[in-house]
A and B are shown apart, each in its own frame.
Chain A
Amino acid sequence: GAGVSQSPSNKVTEKGKDVELRCDPISGHTALYWYRQSLGQGLEFLIYFQGNSAPDKSGLPSDRFSAERTGGSVSTLTIQRTQQEDSAVYLCASSLQGSGANVLTFGAGSRLTVL
């Protein structure tokens, strides 16, 4: 596609429910990143996928968070048993190559509100 597409754009859920956030990166981009943006905070790195390599999950805040990338394209971020502190905007980005010194193209984000 022309850009990085994320869905849903907004998600309101009750505490304890599971949520899935989807990211469709730019075709041909081998690297995919998930970041979290909490109110008044910067962009917190969550997870990184590069080609067929094992993902770097070092930024995931707890074992309630997981992500997968199928076929080297679409990625899904799953949050189990959501908590109020999970409320944030979840941003997905892709880049042509895996090196950090490359331009990241971000999606518009998925705003998650946990009641």
Chain B
Amino acid sequence: GENVEQHPSTLSVQEGDSAVIKCTYSDSASNYFPWYKQELGKGPQLIIDIRSNVGEKKDQRIAVTLNKTAKHFSLHITETQPEDSAVYFCAAVSNSGYALNFGKGTSLLVTP
């Protein structure tokens, strides 16, 4: 089955700096890669996703890149703000699959 590895487990940046979270996956059939943000006491919420037919996708301060050959994808947050502090999860799944396989999460802390 699919195995998703996520690094780092914790990340601390100063407000205004960039943050990068990286994930690798094992199943070459995976073709959908979402990122979820979980704030304290809440369920995870989708913030951005990418499908295998594109290499990069951007939404304001958030971008995701995908390298299918190397089987890794990354989340980039620019101009970080304190409200970006949360746990971020990457995930992967194939078209024939239905249950997202999640990484173990990255706890991001943005200090003012």
Contact = CB atoms under 8 A, between A and B. Distances in A.
Most buried by B among A48, A101, A104: A101
A48 B99 CA distance: 7
Contact of A99 (B41, B98, B104, B105): B98
B102 interface: yes
A42 B102 contact: yes
B98 A50 contact: yes
Nearest to A97: B98
Interface in B41-97: 41-46, 49, 51, 89, 91, 93-95, 97
A106 B43 contact: yes
Contacts of B94: 100
- Identify whether the interface residues of A are mostly helix, strand, loop, or mixed: loop
Contacts of A48: 98-99
A30 to B, nearest CB: 11
A93 B101 CA distance: 14
Contact of A100 (B43, B44, B99, B103): B99
Contact of B105 (A42, A50, A56): A42
Contacts of B45: 106
A42 B43 contact: no
Contacts of A59: 99
A98 B89 CA distance: 21
Contacts of A56: 98-99
Contact of B104 (A42, A45, A98, A106): A42
A19 interface: no
A41 B103 CA distance: 9
Interface of B: 4, 6, 31-32, 34, 36, 41-46, 49, 51, 89, 91, 93-95, 97-105
Interface of A: 4, 31, 33, 35, 40-43, 45, 48, 50, 56, 59, 91, 93, 98-101, 103-104, 106-109
14 contacts: A41-B105, A42-B4, A42-B6, A42-B89, A42-B104, A43-B91, A59-B99, A100-B100, A101-B51, A103-B34, A103-B49, A104-B36, A108-B43, A109-B43
